[in-house]
Structure 1
Amino acid sequence: MTTFRSPQYLHQVLQGFANQSVREFEIVVGEDGRTEQTRAVIDSFATRTDFQIRYVSQTHQGFGKTRILNRAIDAAASDYLIFTDGDCVPRRDFVAQHLRLAAPGRFLSGGCYRLNRELTNRILASKVAYNEFTDPGWLKQHGNDVPAKWLWIQGHPGLAKALDLATTTRPTFNGHNASAWKSDVVRANGFNHEMRYGGLDRELGERLENAGVLGMQIRHRAVCYHLDHDRGYVNDQDWQRNREIRRLVRKTGVTRAVEGLDQIRAA
């Protein structure tokens, strides 16, 4: 996962991983621009949990998410990688679902429930507990707009697989909730350093698919809760540039980024 000057958000995300139903994993946090506040959050969790937390950082020089993601990939010890963001709190079975459904020649495309700003602020202020805001029933009872399907799944978990099979939404590589074999990501040369904000994760998925690694939909089985925040870094110019890069990737069948993981390792 990556983070950028948001220690309160990271605290909630790590709290979510501390509540996972399986414990055999490590966390790699990549920070674009080292801050003592972020390091303090990580160090605090490292002393209170039974899984390893690695920390990598880089000098902040403009939008650097693809570079710090590649540093995190390089630092990861496991042969299977689950990707999320420093503002997405995992449901209790998040890691278990990704590991259970991992398959050769596949990447997994998970889903998220987006929390509103008012609730996010209450969570950051520790006024709402983890087991409350990750409970669709609790969210519904406290005035949040919860689609009926999440309440159905809560009462009948087996429906999640059926909904994943029935959905017409294409499985894409989502940075907030996706997983893949490290060997497949390495062959693709990781994240493309040419990409700015807006589809940088999906571009990796499109290269994986060009190489024969196909996406599988698990959006109703592996869920995270997205904390709301401003996005002052978004602009139309970057979106248009990224769309053109992705169009060429799909058209030409590109499988490797020209500038990516290899360049991080070489440096």
Structure 2
Amino acid sequence: MQSNLQATIIISTFNKPEWLQYVLLSFDIQTTKNFEIIIADDGSDEKTKAVIGQFSKNTDLNVKHIWQADDGFQKTKILNKAIEASNADYLIFTDGDCIARKDFVETHLKLRRLKCALSGGYFKLTEDVSSKITDTIIREQKCFEKDWLIAEGQPKTFKMNKLTTSKTKAIFLNFVTPTKATFDGMNVSCWKADLLAVNGFDERMKYGGEDREVGERMMNNGIKFLQIRYSATCVHLHHDRPYENEEALLLNKKIRQETKHAKSTYSKYGIHKS
């Protein structure tokens, strides 16, 4: 165990071993190495286990694979298990399809504040550009360069500003963006104690806003969410969402409305069941 452990990176995944391989590589080349990685695996098959095993052999980082059997979309349950297994006081959440820029961890650590959570950004790659990502592209950080992306066919949009390396520009854009700072599981960080205080994720929730709901409880409990979407960035690899379904979305919406209406600060369906 690293003695100067400053963060636990929690990466959620499900049967995307080729994407996870790239994501893990992006954490292996971070500008700071004082963190551990926990992979919160919602029932992937042996291919994912093999990718994690291979990566663990070749990295100096401490890597834990927390797995549960596939029983439909149960991401909230595996995330709660990962929170419990974490060894650092500070947690950074991302997904197994988001490649982190090499200053990702350093930025979250530099900007963290007591009684605050940080809401980062992500830039969506097209299916075509996603297929052109390689280990070399990640090592050379080309997937964060506008010129490379445009040359490979990524449409030029305002959202490319999320890839800025100018701190001044990032601070300005964070300040003027109309997008609210929320708990978005692709790129968010907070103190472990603040998450435990609201009892983690509500395990009744399926796909669609399940991460926002825990953030809403944290806000109700006095945690301020700070906007860093132009400072801490990752690129999101393209994939389909076969787990989206109307019934689950309605249930999640109902739970979120209850949280909002009651100004809930705690879920009895979280880490500790009551």
After TM superposition, the score normalised by the length of structure 2 is 0.91
Pick one of 229, 239, 242 that aligns with 1:229: 239
Q: 1:143 deviation in Å?
A: 2.6
Contact 2:161–2:230 (Cα < 8 Å) also in 1:
no
2:219 corresponds in structure 1 to 209
1:159 corresponds in structure 2 to 169
State the alpha-carbon separation in 2 of the partners of residues 127 and 74 from structure 1. Answer: 32
Q: Does 1:69 align with 2:79?
A: yes
Q: 1:141 deviation in Å?
A: 2.9
2:6 corresponds in structure 1 to none
2:257 corresponds in structure 1 to 247
Q: Within 5 A, what are the aligned runs for 1:65-214? A: 65-123=75-133, 126=134, 129-130=137-138, 131-148=141-158, 150=160, 154=164, 156-214=166-224
| Partner secondary structure for residue 114 of structure 2 | coil
2:54 corresponds in structure 1 to 44
Q: Which runs of 5+ in 1 are unaligned?
A: none
| Partner secondary structure for residue 222 of structure 1 | strand
CA offset digits 1:145-167 (Å, max 9, x no partner): 23356459646332001110111
State the alpha-carbon separation in 1 of the partners of residues 114 and 161 from structure 2. Answer: 32
After TM superposition, the score normalised by the length of structure 1 is 0.93
Q: CA RMSD in A?
A: 1.8
CA offset digits 1:82-106 (Å, max 9, x no partner): 0000111111111111101110111
Higher strand proportion, which one? 2
> Aligned letter for 1:221?
S
Shift in alpha-carbon separation, 1:62–1:166, aligned structure 2, 3 A:
same
State the alpha-carbon separation in 1 of the partners of residues 211 and 183 from structure 2. Answer: 6
Could you list the runs of 4 or more consecutive aligned residues of structure 1 that deviate by over 2 angstroms after TM superposition? 140-143, 146-157
Q: Which runs of 5+ in 2 are unaligned?
A: 1-10
Q: 1:254 deviation in Å?
A: 0.5
| Sequence identity percentage | 39
